[in-house]
Chain A
């Protein structure tokens, strides 16, 4: 086996590119779930963000505006979920699934004129240290890490973060203390939508870069798994996203190197690792129940 042709630096950058859309979507959903809302519509918000971002970038000619467009698009579509679940008190699981289907459909509709168009290419830093070939690093990778740091700081070190967590742990108690549970959750859902939208726009503007219907191909569901994997701790979401992206990229590269391992095993590895970690996390029941927001998925009604 010849590993010499595999540049470790290039490999790490490929992993980052694969992990970044997952990380954006996961960190957004983590905040949503911390506020006690389970939004299963991540896939729908991602794909909507992918086309919203793509369309914005094509129309304005600016890829940075594309990312902003993805965030706005994701936040807008998440408001459908927010209004239904927070004001009309619909079931969060069913509404989230509905949002996924709606997102996939509306994105396909909006995206029709954008098939086969090349988006403006994203500005990238050329990195030449440690490698002979220049490697392009797009600025969204460090942005995703900074975002995680900001979320971790917000949740653990700020008063607003404490309030958001309180709403997620016991919305009745938070309400009785005078906090507006519905507004706080609305903001959290909007943030989650924006993050998922950026993740989608990253996919259509940087990772692939093109618009194809259904191009998220399940990334939103993986992001949801990563949130559970991280047991709702922001930095562990980074570990989850990079682990998942890492194994996916690694197995593709190993195949290109002709390592004789059955591709089916490699394809299922990320999922197996996720399951194993979930089992390990849930082995300690007390810890698992302490980590999950206690009001997750429960409907809040003021009179209740």
Chain B
């Protein structure tokens, strides 16, 4: 009886799988994108939209893409995502952390539509994939440069929300900066927004007032870069190169390149081979790019920064390599130990040496 049941189940599954695979191959697909900011933010949403344009170029008339920009994280996001699912999209990219729950909720109601959520970790149904980039690898490189370039030993960090993604970046940058400059001090401002140029500019001014001479940011607009240029200090491009906003201020940048991933996943839907997965790519795969080095950086620092990037690609360097303690002094990584992805994905603590309390 049991054997019969198993056999029947296997047969049914096999039939189902072949059926699904055959039915899933498509001639033309519709791909939707949901952005948290305007595509003209010259940062985060801008790069996602560049990825969308790359899909259009690569797949030509086999694909139709649509997007909705400036969608707030929250109930509005669910409405927008549902509308996309209802209007015949085959694949929907939701490109901000705060879309995690709305994406999963809508995905459960539309099993035939594929969903891809950026920087999240919830995949509640088999039609949800998650993807993210190891921005923290880039933070190691620019943290290294910042540690060398600061004269006041004060580095400013404009942070958005205390999610693991952002906390990881702060920790990674701090470890790299303090490795080359033990006196370095991080001043962190949480602005509680991804995109508000006015507030980001105010935060940059407040940091400069406190003696900061290098600014990093984890927000989406080039406002801080503009202020850095005006006040004659240094900053790094975030998500996009941002060179045009700070020809003198910009030292380097972390650039997001989503195009290869977006093309690959759209192609997978066309072929009917799309399957749920979690992707976390870094400098090696090209999802994280380090922008060109400014000639204001001394040649030997450029070389050592490049060595870190090359080491990460080769696998010989890891941004989180022990000994590292947590902020409260408790041991986290032993000598030579590197952090596992699980801990990194859920990172909710500062490493030792960072002042201030992490908002919860």
Residues of A within 8 A of B (CB): 5-7, 10-11, 14, 17-18, 21, 104, 108, 111-112, 115-118, 121, 203, 207-210, 212-219, 248-249, 252-253, 255-258, 260, 262-264, 267
Instruction: Identify which of B190, B222, B227 contacts A212 (C-beta below 8 A).
Output: B222
1/0 per position for B189-208, CB-CB distance to A under 8 A?
11111011111011101110
Contacts known (A212-B41, A248-B199); A116 close to B244, Cβ less than 8 A: yes
Contact present for B187 and A213 (CB under 8 Å): no
Q: Is B262 an interface residue, CB under 8 A from the partner?
A: no
From B38, B187, B229, residue with most partner A Cβ within 10 Å: B38
Additional 5 contacts, C-beta under 8 A, given A14-B202, A111-B40, A207-B198: A6-B210, A18-B202, A213-B39, A253-B206, A263-B192
From B39, B41, B222, B359, residue with most partner A Cβ within 10 Å: B359
Least CB distance from B98 to A in Å reads: 14
Beta-carbon nearest neighbor of B156 in chain A: A256
Q: Is B188 an interface residue, CB under 8 A from the partner?
A: yes
List the B side residues contacting A118 at CB < 8 Å. 226, 229, 245
Beta-carbon nearest neighbor of B360 in chain A: A262
Contact present for B209 and A14 (CB under 8 Å): yes
Contact present for B40 and A112 (CB under 8 Å): yes
1/0 per position for B68-96, CB-CB distance to A under 8 A?
00100000000000000000000000000
A-B contact pairs, 9 of them (CB 8 A): A6-B210, A11-B209, A116-B244, A118-B226, A209-B226, A209-B230, A214-B40, A214-B70, A252-B203
Contact present for B206 and A116 (CB under 8 Å): no
List the B side residues contacting A112 at CB < 8 Å. 40
Q: How far is the CA of A216 from the CA of B202 in the complex (A)?
A: 13
List the A side residues contacting B38 at CB < 8 Å. 108, 212-214
Least CB distance from B273 to A in Å reads: 37
From A10, A213, A258, residue with most partner B Cβ within 10 Å: A213
Q: How far is the CA of A208 from the CA of B42 in the complex (A)?
A: 15
Q: Is B223 an interface residue, CB under 8 A from the partner?
A: yes
Q: How far is the CA of A192 from the CA of B230 in the complex (A)?
A: 31
Contact present for A258 and B359 (CB under 8 Å): no
Least CB distance from B264 to A in Å reads: 29
Contact present for B206 and A14 (CB under 8 Å): yes
Contact present for A256 and B199 (CB under 8 Å): no
Contact present for A257 and B359 (CB under 8 Å): no
Instruction: Identify which of A18, A121, A212, A249 contacts B42 (C-beta below 8 A).
Output: A212
